[in-house]
Amino acid sequence: DFLEGTFQARSFYPYWVSGNEYVYMNSTAAINKVNIGTNVETAILNGEPWVSMGHLFFDIKISADQNYLAIFYMKTDGYADYVRTFSCDIYNLLNGFLRTKQILPDFPTENLQKFQWSPTGHDFSYVYEFNVYLYKNTFLNHHQITNDGDEQMVFNGIADFLHWIEITEDDSLMWWSPDSQYLAYATIKQTNVFAVEFSVYNNYQYPEMIRYPYPKPGTPIPTTTVTVVDLSNLSLTQLKTLNFSSWSDGYYLNSVTWRGNHILSPTWKNRISNEAVVENCETPMFNCSYVSGMTSKSTTGWLGHYKVAHIIPTNNDNVYITVRSLDGYQHITVFYVKENKDDWRTSGEFEVIPKKDEINDWIYFTSTELESKPGTALPRIRHIWRVKGSGSDKNRSCISCHLNEIFPDRCNWVTPSFSRDGSYVVINCGGSGNAAPVSTLHMRNSSGDYEFVGVVEGNEELIQTLNVVFLPNFMFFFLSHFSARYPFQRLHLPPNFNESKKYPMLVQVYSGPAYQQVRDRFEVSWKDYVSSARDVIVMSFDGRGTGYRGDKIMHQVYKKLGQYEPHDQIAAARKLATENQFIDQSKIAIWGWSYGGYELLNVIGEDADNVFKCGFAVAPVTKWEYYHTIWTEKYMQQPKDNPDGYAKGSALQGIENFRTHHFNLFHGTKDENVHFQNSAQLSKYLIDGDVKFGAFFAADDDHSMSRVNNGYRNIYKQLTRQMDLCFNL
């Protein structure tokens, strides 16, 4: 049922076009605009033209002046996101309900890579064949800005695989100034970057070879520059960044933000992501500078959770908001550039992610803080809080905690969607265990406080389904006397659980650095099927290295991936099984995907006491030398600087323990992220060690196992079959 979407929960993230309006596509494919305050709905565009043509749409974007609408369809596939193109039609919304399609002779409506409207009016930029183009003056002027784009060498205005996966929020590398007078774009050059190649079989007589740049640890990385287009005269100015001479092995562009109309602020970070610099690049020359407080450095590990935090502009060009580590926890600071001064707005043993309300000087943020115990955290929850953006009042208040009283156990994990000016906010409550998510609407009153308006998505159909389906029960707890503070576990207990019975247990592992698996929200996946249909207990556990419990716990795995996490998983499973008689200690298995697959291999390699009987690894990394630079070197540094860490972090060891476990390996041959090379080398290692194991290789499937028809369904059928064999079910 979970594969059929039976338990799919709906949330509500409006495509806001103003402070109180959003746009959406209805069931007839017409585009409508809704005033969320009055609930008055206005038709923008009839859906008949593209419905009759059989187009399958995946996105829409309306111009800032709401006079034009871009509709995107016919998304193509490819070996990486940046080569997956789409088609686009632009409609004029000024001619009544039967709007007309805008004919732009020089606009390639097919095989586009990126499209962005300007923040004012209806100019737009786009990326086509790795080059940046621009339309201005109501489409009268069309300009090609770059001409050196190349799929293998030069990426203009669009991220390569490396940046898209690990650095930028979006794979579009174009940034309009708020007044639309400037357009900044990044260029990534793959000079000296090594490429990876693999075969795609399809139905060809000879396989097709796919080749794309993919730097691995210790090899050259791309170089990135930022250029600004002045729309008044189309002049190009490349940012004159400072000489990062101490970063001689290369550096990355982390993010770009306009602080007002005249200051462009790129954030750069060094190759191993433990140092970062925010720059001031001012019009018209765009010479860049920074003061000491605009730098960040970690002495215990990497910066941020997954990456360096972006900066958030304010209505004062001299001031921006960001998140940095304070006493080992990620907290909000308001930075005053001219004064070179931080004004920390939050502090304590919890972590945050911010948004600014300029009108009432509030900073909104999601946090792990417990309202009942200020200053302390419950890592498995998220609520929306706020604090004043300036002044001596730094008292925090939770604006979503009360929703859990109105909707019991449905609102422990929230994500907000603020309208353009913050007049409204939709709070998406993520549910909890078997309690369905709910989305609520709130309106800001004259005092700047948000008042509850009503439910905008209640998931009533899902609730009816949950009332008649037997899903697992859930338990959250932390293990006392353990190696990491607050090492939380989540148990999925079979329906009609009976403590006097003996149950097999499956451990689901990921345990990647900064990751969090134990979350108090509604999630239905294979683990729930296993627990409810196969009468198996499923455990998830966050040990050392995982996120949102402070740098001290997270950075314990720095330069030592794979050395501590397997011991934590073994110890947690052993402790749980020995202290609870309802767990059958002879029937404990573990499975993981990607980094989880890597951790599983390390667990088996270390499990001399056979706490686990079986293991199932999907698309695992086996040696960090095989994975890409930005992720690996952030946690492991370069091989030349951490040879011991790379050697001990290899999963190709512990052959004696593999011989005593029932092990199965799964991987797609077209995996663009964790290359099939990893499993190929693992299979060679196991065969050389005379290990009995099972291997399933999905031809032409990628890291998600979802590109080939029935691939995603098939992998879970295979996993279920192997688990049944392991537990004699």
The catalytic residue positions are 594, 671, 703
Among residues 415, 438, 433, the alpha carbon closest in space to that of 495 is found at: 433
230 Cβ contact partners less than 8 Å away, ≥ 6 residues apart: 181, 182, 236, 237, 284
150 Cβ contact partners less than 8 Å away, ≥ 6 residues apart: 130
Count the alpha carbons within 13 Å of 384 in the hemisphere toward its beta carbon.
25
DSSP assignment of 527-544 equals HHHHHHHH--EEEEE--T
CB of 202 within 8 A of CB of 700?
yes
Residue 117 DSSP SS3: strand
340: left (phi over 0), alpha (psi -120 to 50) or beta: left
Cα-atom radius of gyration of the chain, to the nearest Å? Answer: 26
- Cβ–Cβ contacts within 10 Å for residue 729, how many? 13
CB of 468 within 8 A of CB of 502?
no
193 Cβ contact partners less than 8 Å away, ≥ 6 residues apart: 213, 214, 215, 219, 220, 221, 222
526 Cβ contact partners less than 8 Å away, ≥ 6 residues apart: 2, 716, 719, 720
Using CA atoms, how far apart are residues 721 and 375, in angstroms rounded to an integer?
47
Q: Which 8-state DSSP code applies to residue 467?
A: H
| Residues forming a β-bridge with 552 | none
Q: Which amino acid is at 462?
A: L
In this structure, the chain runs to a length of 729
Q: How many helices (H) and strands (E) does the chain have?
A: 13, 47
Query: How far from chain centre, in Å, is Cα 598?
Result: 20
CB of 381 within 8 A of CB of 412?
yes
Among residues 414, 386, 350, the alpha carbon closest in space to that of 547 is found at: 350
94 Cβ contact partners less than 8 Å away, ≥ 6 residues apart: 67
Distances (CA, A) of 447 to 231, 233, 318, 353, 386: 40, 45, 27, 24, 14
10 Å CB burial of residue 165 (0-12, 13-18, 19+) is: middle
Using CA atoms, how far apart are residues 645 and 638, in angstroms rounded to an integer?
10
